[in-house]
Amino acid sequence: SILPSIGRANALKDIKALGIIETFTVASLIEAADAAVKAGDVEPLLLHLAFGIGGKSYTLLTGEVASVKAAVEEGSNLASEKGLLIRQVVIPRPAKQLIESLL
């Protein structure tokens, strides 16, 4: 389910909680995003791949708060084990303007 979100935003109307995972490499982000969507009932919004030096990448996920927390934790743990996690965050109720600026 992550393929449609690579490089472009999925057209979801109802964005609930927002989860973000940022990694140092494209490969680590794809693995983390895959693990995240398998771990929780979340929808990938966007996979932004290879910006900056070395291929920094991030993904945006949405769903219910508990599901997003579980998904972000799983994906982040996978990237962290390899030393490639930059940051992860869960925003329970993101403002509409924040969503618009990220997508």
Instruction: Convert the pLDDT of each residue in 65-95 to its tens digit.
Output: 999 999 999 999 999 999 999 999 999 999 8
Domain of 62 in residue numbering reads as: 3-94
Q: Which position has the higher pLDDT, 54 or 33?
A: 33
Q: What is the mean pLDDT of residues 49-71?
A: 89
The verdict on residue 16 lying in a domain is: yes
- Residue in 2, 14, 18 with CA at minimum distance from that of residue 60: 18
The Cα 19–Cα 58 span in angstroms is 10
Split into its structural domains, the chain has a count of 1
Radius of gyration of the CA atoms of the chain, in A? 12
pLDDT confidence band for 15 (50 / 70 / 90): confident
CATH code of 37's domain: 3.30.70.1710
The verdict on residue 9 lying in a domain is: yes
The verdict on residue 103 lying in a domain is: no
How many C-beta atoms surround the C-beta of residue 19 within 10 A? 28
